[in-house]
Amino acid sequence: METTWQDVLAFDQLAWVLSACIVLSYVVASIWNEENCSLVHPLILAHQARFSPTRKQGETPTITSSGATTHLLPTTPDRSVKSLLHLLLKAEGRLQQIDINSIVVSSAPHPLNVSCFIIDDFICPLSFLYQTQNIAFNTLVANVRNNLWSLLASTKTEDGNENHPRLLILCADPYLRLVLSLAAATLPIMTILATPKRSGTLPVEIQLALEPHIVHLCLVVSELPADMTKEVLGSKLATRCQIMPSHRLSAWFQSGNTETVAPDDLSELSKARLRIVSYSSRPDGQQTNKARVFEFTPENLLAGVTGSLGLFPLAGKLNAKDTIALELGGDEIWGSASSMAVAGLYSGASVYFFNGFKLLSECKPTVLLLKSMTAQILAEEVVQLSKLSLLKKLAIGRRLSKVFNGALGSPLPETTEWVGPHLRAMLTDDPITQSTATLIRAGFGVSLQRVYVHPVGAGPLLASQQYDFQLTRPHRPTTSTTVHCGPPGANVECKIVAVPEPALINHDAWKGKLLVRGPSVGSELTPDGDAAEAEDFHAVADVAQVLPNGTFQVFSRSLSGDD
């Protein structure tokens, strides 16, 4: 059969038409793809770093963050919020607690004919769980602070103890710990908070750290058994101090408002102090067996919540439609889960404390703060999915290619079954490897932001942000697929000191000790219980590096290849 020139011409025309269609399909897809978001800011601090070569001879080289001054760092999320109490009274979100070994329903009848649930080895009355789950957080705080103030007012102590704690909180339950500590931090007293182990014991190191602070106590709220609480206080103080077991607090968490008796004058509330005993401070990525005590003012806590809100750009800020799930670990730092929880509650969001991710599909979070172990498990699950079939491997490969090219793809159908279909952001306060972060970004189609926290900070100190953290889908089609996003508004100023001189001369990696200051940074107390000398900056990490783009990275000794 002969091929005429008309056939050849027709074939060439068809080939050109098909080629043009293929090219146009990619162009149109790139224009209309709302999920395409470009990489911005490999690692972000509040402000980029700057090195000043002008210094005295023999002076330690210092690299500081530029553009940050004490007067410019944000201390409140809104000008109308004048104090921590004012912010808490605006927090209309719901705080709930779920666990892989318990079922907590917000407002349903009791599913089982039982009187209590055991959550993390603690016996919790079932009625208490149901009564507290559907109450606005501002109502809880108002009720608890009124009850606390009534008890404190009825307890007489010796004079001259304004500079010593009057209230001791010994709670391992995160729900109770957060509500009680915030309520106490809005009263003109000094409070000290210590977290027992889940087994119902208090480490010896924490008991030793508490001794200088409990001399003038008049009230103790404790989850520990009565004999253990008396052992912590000592026989003399136990007879003089009023002890309130946590199981007797259910009336404090009722939905009905109590009579307002607590003071609300700002000048009087400025006297409040919250001291937190940190057993494992993780300053260099490893746990230490030394308890340390950090003190915060209401202004520190308010600035910490502001810093957590600053992690979310205006294009995707927290709102009442959000559901925030916070995974709890053994070493809790206030600037991590607690400040993020209050930030969500202030925004009107529903906040869940959980221990394990098997129930995440039921609460359907939009923002997820998880531990490194859980992140690693999720990444391994994505790897296992790739082994199921060739098509699944190709689907994950395409998403990995997008991540490597600076974009996020759509989530895998299986991952939406694990965490629900509405997830838009993940955070972690633990070191994670680059491979774990990449697999999660590819499998879940969301950004994964690492937040560096330290017990001295009431909010985030550093934040890595490899993607535009949250994108809102445009209401109408647009040709712009990149939403420009600046650094998160973390309200701290950082500097690196003790950088080796050869590294500066040779333009090698600038590594040194990381120091921070800012409105969300508290103060560390001496072992004797006295306030340490006021420091301009506080050391938080032994090894930190300035990256080529002028931002900082903290190195952990427990993991290599930090994200």
**The pLDDT value given to residue 468:** 35
**The pLDDT value given to residue 345:** 96
In this structure, CATH architecture of domain 42-71+356-554: Roll (2.30)
Q: Is 138 helix (H, G, I), strand (E, B) or coil?
A: helix
Alpha-carbon distances of 68 from 48, 169, 175, 495, rounded to whole Å: 9, 36, 35, 11
Are 196 and 211 spatial neighbours (Cβ–Cβ below 8 Å)? no
Between β-strands 122-125 and 116-119, what pairing exists: parallel, antiparallel or unpaired? antiparallel
* Cα 56 to chain centroid, rounded: 40
**The pLDDT value given to residue 100:** 37
Between β-strands 462-463 and 447-452, what pairing exists: parallel, antiparallel or unpaired? antiparallel
The length of the chain, given as a count of residues: 563
Q: Look up tokens 């974009």; give the residue.
A: 407
Percent of the chain that is helix, strand, coil (3-state, to 5): 35, 20, 45
C-alpha–C-alpha distance, residues 362 and 539, integer Å: 41
- Please write down the HEC assignment for all residues of 451-469: EECCCCECCCCEECCCECC
Q: Per-domain residue ranges for the chain?
A: 42-71+356-554, 84-102+128-299
**The pLDDT value given to residue 62:** 53
Are 457 and 304 spatial neighbours (Cβ–Cβ below 8 Å)? yes
Are 509 and 503 spatial neighbours (Cβ–Cβ below 8 Å)? yes
Q: Look up tokens 């004012």; give the residue.
A: 86
DSSP 477-544: --S-------------EEEEE---HHHHHTT--EEEEEEEESTTB-EEBPTTSPBPPP-SSEEEEEEE
Indicate left, alpha or beta for 244 from its phi (over 0: left) and psi (-120 to 50: alpha). beta
Are 481 and 515 spatial neighbours (Cβ–Cβ below 8 Å)? no
**The pLDDT value given to residue 162:** 65
- pLDDT tens-digit profile, the chain (563 residues): 555 555 544 556 666 676 666 666 554 444 444 444 333 323 333 334 444 544 444 445 555 554 445 556 778 888 889 999 999 999 999 999 886 333 233 333 333 333 343 333 344 443 344 445 578 999 999 999 999 999 888 775 555 556 778 899 999 889 999 999 999 999 999 999 999 887 778 888 888 889 888 888 999 999 998 888 988 888 888 888 889 998 888 888 776 666 778 888 888 899 999 999 987 644 444 445 678 899 999 999 999 999 888 887 666 789 999 999 998 876 678 888 899 999 999 999 999 998 877 777 778 899 999 988 888 999 999 999 988 888 888 988 998 888 877 778 889 999 888 888 889 888 888 888 888 888 998 999 888 888 888 999 999 888 765 443 333 333 333 333 333 333 444 678 777 888 777 776 776 777 888 888 888 999 998 877 676 666 678 888 888 877 665 566 787 654 333 33
Are 532 and 523 spatial neighbours (Cβ–Cβ below 8 Å)? yes
Reference 169, options 261, 59, 244; nearest CA is: 244
**The pLDDT value given to residue 486:** 34
**The pLDDT value given to residue 328:** 82
**The pLDDT value given to residue 258:** 65
**The pLDDT value given to residue 143:** 92
Q: Is 411 helix (H, G, I), strand (E, B) or coil?
A: coil
Are 438 and 382 spatial neighbours (Cβ–Cβ below 8 Å)? no
C-alpha–C-alpha distance, residues 304 and 75, integer Å: 8
Q: Residue 433: what residue type?
A: T
Q: Is 94 helix (H, G, I), strand (E, B) or coil?
A: strand
**The pLDDT value given to residue 438:** 87
C-alpha–C-alpha distance, residues 389 and 94, integer Å: 42
C-alpha–C-alpha distance, residues 415 and 399, integer Å: 13
C-alpha–C-alpha distance, residues 32 and 15, integer Å: 26
C-alpha–C-alpha distance, residues 162 and 149, integer Å: 15
Which run of H or of E encompasses 117?
Answer: strand 116-119
Phi, psi at 451, each rounded to 5°: -110, 125
Are 210 and 283 spatial neighbours (Cβ–Cβ below 8 Å)? no
Are 277 and 527 spatial neighbours (Cβ–Cβ below 8 Å)? no
**Neighbouring residues of 36: CB distance < 8 A, sequence distance ≥ 6:** 30, 407, 408, 481, 482
Are 339 and 77 spatial neighbours (Cβ–Cβ below 8 Å)? no
Where does residue 356 rank: exposed (0-12), middle (13-18), buried (19+ CB within 10 A)? middle
Tokens (6 digits) for 404: 């490597």
Reference 63, options 555, 495, 505, 499; nearest CA is: 495
C-alpha–C-alpha distance, residues 51 and 497, integer Å: 11
Q: Residue 55: what residue type?
A: R
How many H-runs (helices) and E-runs (strands) does the chain carry? Answer: 17, 22
CA angle 321, 441, 516 (to 5 degrees): 80
Phi, psi at 240, each rounded to 5°: -95, -20
Q: Is 313 helix (H, G, I), strand (E, B) or coil?
A: coil
C-alpha–C-alpha distance, residues 297 and 247, integer Å: 29
Q: Matching CATH topology for 42-71+356-554 and 84-102+128-299?
A: no
Fold of 84-102+128-299: Rossmann fold (3.40.50)
Are 325 and 314 spatial neighbours (Cβ–Cβ below 8 Å)? no
C-alpha–C-alpha distance, residues 100 and 358, integer Å: 7
